[in-house]
Amino acid sequence: MPQILMFVYTFIIFFSPFFVVTNGTTSCITDDDCPKAVSFLVFKCIDNICVRVEIL
């Protein structure tokens, strides 16, 4: 039982940074109005909507 709880806890901690709003529409005027970059994802303001752009 403790191993299952530890696995669930580790799973939540590991994947929580990736639970960023990516499908929601966030209105913006400039790139500064969009959410900040998370590792390899960057958000840009395109047509007054924040769009996720992947950096390779």
Domain ranges for the chain, please list them: 22-56
Instruction: Identify the top-confidence range among 4-8, 19-23, 35-39, 50-54.
Output: 4-8
pTM over 0.75: no
Check whether 26 has a pLDDT greater than 70: yes
pLDDT at 39: 72
| Residue 34 CB contacts under 8 Å (≥ 6 apart), including other chains | 26, 28, 43, 44, 45, 50
Question: Rounded to whole angstroms, what are the CA distances from 55 to 2, 30, 43, 44, 50?
Answer: 38, 19, 10, 12, 15
CB-facing half-sphere around the CA of 43: CA atoms within 13 A: 23
